[in-house]
Amino acid sequence: MTVVEAVRWSVSGDAVDIVDQRALPARLVRRELRTVDEICDAIASLAVRGAPAIGVAGAMGLVVSLAPLTDLGAVDFLAAVHRAAERIARVRPTAVNLAWAVRRVADRAAATSGAAPAMHAAMRDEATRVLDEDRAMCDRIGQHGLTLLHDGARVLTHCNAGALATAGIGTALAPIYHATSLGWKIAVFADETRPLMQGSRLTAWELVQAGIDVTVLADSMAASLMRGGAVDLVIVGADRIAANGDVANKIGTYALALAARHHGIPFYVAAPWSTVDAATATGDDVEIEHRSPAELGDGFAEQIAPEAIARYNPAFDVTPAALVSAIVTDRGVHRAPFDFTAARHADGREG
Amino acid sequence: MTVVEAVRWSVSGDAVDIVDQRALPARLVRRELRTVDEICDAIASLAVRGAPAIGVAGAMGLVVSLAPLTDLGAVDFLAAVHRAAERIARVRPTAVNLAWAVRRVADRAAATSGAAPAMHAAMRDEATRVLDEDRAMCDRIGQHGLTLLHDGARVLTHCNAGALATAGIGTALAPIYHATSLGWKIAVFADETRPLMQGSRLTAWELVQAGIDVTVLADSMAASLMRGGAVDLVIVGADRIAANGDVANKIGTYALALAARHHGIPFYVAAPWSTVDAATATGDDVEIEHRSPAELGDGFAEQIAPEAIARYNPAFDVTPAALVSAIVTDRGVHRAPFDFTAARHADGREG
């Protein structure tokens, strides 16, 4: 089984080697990023996307971009590290993982005594830890989530919470990869996920690479598929999980949860523990990003909506905890009643 | 208020004047159809679409295509009528309205004594009746459905069951047009309706023409919109209504009905009485058309799904009667418990 590596060190170690997700599914294009400009551009243009993958790419990118400057004096080198870190973190200011991962690497440099080469070696070590931790987090989610699957399971998912969104084997798709590596046959239904089509473009592509049976459907078809008895369970990712278990995730998740409940189908959420936010009491406290109206109407070969109309284009929705069967994190399988009010992130951030 | 006329006689009466729906929403292109080839091509290519509109266009098309042949002898003329009628009816063999409307016009010719010009005049009269009956049917649905609306109502709809699908003011949209002509302010939310985008391309366009407030959203967003309290009621059309009230309609309707029920929002179906099929006991007896996998993945400027995957692409779904608040036909507002087992079509066809 081949699981795509969305972010890794290049063979020589002097670049961040990413899958350029803008070219998918038509072509697999890998790019090597070396400069701050290249890293910022890759993150801004969504060549690399998914909160975990962005964090890892930013951390590793900071390291490689500083490589040409190791003959600077220690003070000048550290100043350059901070300048580059700030530039990278600023590309997607709401991506908590990005700022956090980049800061980890910069802080490691600051905490290292000695000359620039020693600092740089410590930075590389720290970025490699960020990378390895992300992979381990995915593996643990996969192991915990495996307990919810069975050989022959037919799984519906939404958007892309897979390998392409992390440096490892993904979150919602991690249990599916683990099951497949055990020889279980899993059939995946991938919602295409309007408007940006992460399901058909990315989830379907990475599952095909791994030889996993995948069928794409329009988001509006999922309820009928469930009614026809073709779905055993639903697994989706999460952008944020509130203290009460409400789940903010890609728009369309909520409609799936309603349909799953109506049909008595388990609805699972798989996400890093760092997604659990104890400071958010309920889903009502999550501000939902509304995206460009152009996403509804443009992007097809031909115009598909009149220019003169309003377009409602939220990027995410909130699924109330009451509709969630279980939340799988790298810490285990959490079941209702959910109480994450005491959650602290593994890295010490407030929950 | 301007409601688009999808099918009408040309000013000179020698052609069928249609809106070419393939060019919408970018351009309003009207075309005049005169020959059997032009009529068949317009129906086959979906330049004219929607069961009522197709029937009317076919009936009128048969008339205009025979105009050059009225100097034939009566026997030869009638043979030409039957040949043309058969060709037109065969373009979309599952479109019951088309075969029925074309046969009405051909039968009228056969029942007319005298020479070809007299037959042709009778055919024109019959096709005009088909046209007028369709318009009257739409108006009656609009009047009945008006009782379900109020000034300021916020209405969610799916696909296009509007003027573009009929020769009149539509079915699901007819109550909205009536309300607007009373001066009521109605806000419409139009699901874009993947995969063919009839909601954003057609419904949004025709409502804009009429000066009605319309907002397009992706199908997956409707449930969140309801949860946010932004929707007062749902009105959709129907392709077939079973004897028990189960409703077969454009894929995605069922998911909407589930979401509406969960949020306590009325879910209405508006359709011609001829859509009620007493011979279909329940929705389980409706065979659902599955369409080309190409519709999921092609049609965008860029490929949006890998070539190598399965694609699930049903055109319709079935909404159980238990989720339907009322069914509006040209005969009135029908409420649960639905029992259409004694239904007969107005034209004498079996239900």
**How far is residue B322's CA from residue B113's CA, in Å, rounded to a whole number?**
52
**How far is residue A167's CA from residue A4's CA, in Å, rounded to a whole number?**
9
**How far is residue A25's CA from residue A204's CA, in Å, rounded to a whole number?**
8
Bond before B93 cis per omega within 30 degrees = no
Q: Which residue of chain B has the CA closest to A306?
A: B25
User: Is there a contact between A255 and B227 if contact means CB atoms under 8 Å apart?
Assistant: no
| Residue A307 DSSP one-character state | T
Bond before B175 cis per omega within 30 degrees = no
**How far is residue A24's CA from residue A163's CA, in Å, rounded to a whole number?**
14
Closest partner residue to B220 (CB to CB) among A189, A201, A219 is A219
pLDDT band at B321 (very low <50, low <70, confident <90, very high): confident
B2-57 residue pLDDT tens: 999 999 999 999 999 999 999 999 899 999 999 999 999 999 999 999 989 999 99
Closest partner residue to A216 (CB to CB) among B224, B309, B317 is B309
Residue A165, token pair as written in the block: 């969104």
Residues 6+ apart with CB under 8 A from A229: none
Q: Is the predicted pLDDT of residue B95 greater than 80, yes or no? A: no
Residue B43, token pair as written in the block: 């129906």
pLDDT band at B346 (very low <50, low <70, confident <90, very high): very low
Bond before B195 cis per omega within 30 degrees = yes
pLDDT band at B335 (very low <50, low <70, confident <90, very high): confident
Which positions 13-42 of B are in contact with A (Cβ < 8 Å)? 25-26
**How far is residue A163's CA from residue A161's CA, in Å, rounded to a whole number?**
7
Element (H, E) at A255: helix A253-262
Find where tokens 């300021």 sit.
Answer: B152
Q: Which residue of chain B has the CA closest to A317?
A: B224
Find where tokens 């509304």 sit.
Answer: A290
Q: Enumerate the residues of chain A whose CB falls inside 8 A of the CB of residue B305.
A: 25, 192, 197, 200-201, 204, 216
Q: Kindly report the backbone phi and psi dihedral angles of residue B268, in degrees, each rounded to the nearest multiple of 5, phi listed first.
A: -110, 145
Task: Give the mean pLDDT of chain B.
Answer: 91
Burial of B211 from C-beta contacts in 10 A (0-12 / 13-18 / 19+): exposed
Cα A344–Cα A162–Cα A7 angle in degrees, nearest 5:
85
CA distances from A103 to A67, A87, A123, B292 (A): 17, 11, 11, 50
CA distances from B50 to A11, A82, B43, B64, B161 (A): 58, 62, 10, 21, 8
pLDDT band at B266 (very low <50, low <70, confident <90, very high): very high
Taking Cα atoms as reference points, which of A164, A186, A155 lies closest to residue A328? A155
Q: Is the predicted pLDDT of residue B348 greater than 80, yes or no? A: no
Q: Which residue of chain A has the CA closest to B202?
A: A305
**How far is residue B224's CA from residue A318's CA, in Å, rounded to a whole number?**
8
Q: What is the mean pLDDT of each run of 10 residues along chain A (351 residues)?
A: 96 97 92 98 94 96 98 98 97 85 97 97 98 96 95 97 97 97 97 92 94 94 95 94 91 95 95 88 87 76 70 79 85 84 54 30
List the catalytic residues of B.
Answer: 239
Which positions 246-285 of A are in contact with B (Cβ < 8 Å)? 251-252, 254-255, 258-259, 262
Q: Enumerate the residues of chain A whose CB falls inside 8 A of the CB of residue B289.
A: none
Q: Enumerate the residues of chain B whose CB falls inside 8 A of the CB of residue A214.
A: 309-310
Cα B231–Cα B238–Cα B338 angle in degrees, nearest 5:
90
Cα B47–Cα B53–Cα B57 angle in degrees, nearest 5:
75
**How far is residue B48's CA from residue B41's CA, in Å, rounded to a whole number?**
10
pLDDT band at B247 (very low <50, low <70, confident <90, very high): very high
Listed range (A330-334, B212-216, B235-239, B259-263) with the worst mean pLDDT:
A330-334
**How far is residue A62's CA from residue A101's CA, in Å, rounded to a whole number?**
10
Length, in residues, of chain B: 351
Question: What DSSP letter does each residue of B280-315 carry, written as one string?
Answer: --SGGGSPPPB--GGGTT-SBSS--S-TTSEEE-BS
The single-letter code of the amino acid at A245 is: G
User: Is there a contact between A197 and B304 if contact means CB atoms under 8 Å apart?
Assistant: yes
Q: Enumerate the residues of chain A whose CB falls inside 8 A of the CB of residue B218.
A: 194-195, 219, 251-252, 296, 313
Q: A302 vs B184, which has greater pLDDT?
A: B184
Taking Cα atoms as reference points, which of B144, B156, B159, B145 lies closest to residue B50? B159
pLDDT band at B344 (very low <50, low <70, confident <90, very high): low
A30-36 contacts, C-beta under 8 A, 24 or more apart = A33/A57, A33/A61, A33/A64, A34/A64, A34/A65, A34/A67, A35/A65, A36/A61, A36/A65, A36/A84, A36/A87, A36/A88
**How far is residue A198's CA from residue A131's CA, in Å, rounded to a whole number?**
23
List the catalytic residues of A.
Answer: 239
- pLDDT cut 70: percent of chain B above it: 95
**How far is residue A103's CA from residue A288's CA, in Å, rounded to a whole number?**
26
Among A158, A217, A304, pick the best mutation site for testing chain B contact (most B Cβ within 10 A): A304
Cα A227–Cα A233–Cα A234 angle in degrees, nearest 5:
95
CA-only gyration radius of chain B, Å: 20
Taking Cα atoms as reference points, which of B146, B172, B177 lies closest to residue B159? B172
Identify the pLDDT of residue B301: 58
CA distances from A78 to A40, A65, B120, B330 (A): 20, 13, 92, 77
Report ipTM for this prediction.
Answer: 0.88
State pTM to two decimals.
0.90
CB B330 within 8 A of CB B140: yes
Which positions 222-241 of B are in contact with A (Cβ < 8 Å)? 222-225, 227
Taking Cα atoms as reference points, which of B215, B212, B185 lies closest to residue B199? B215
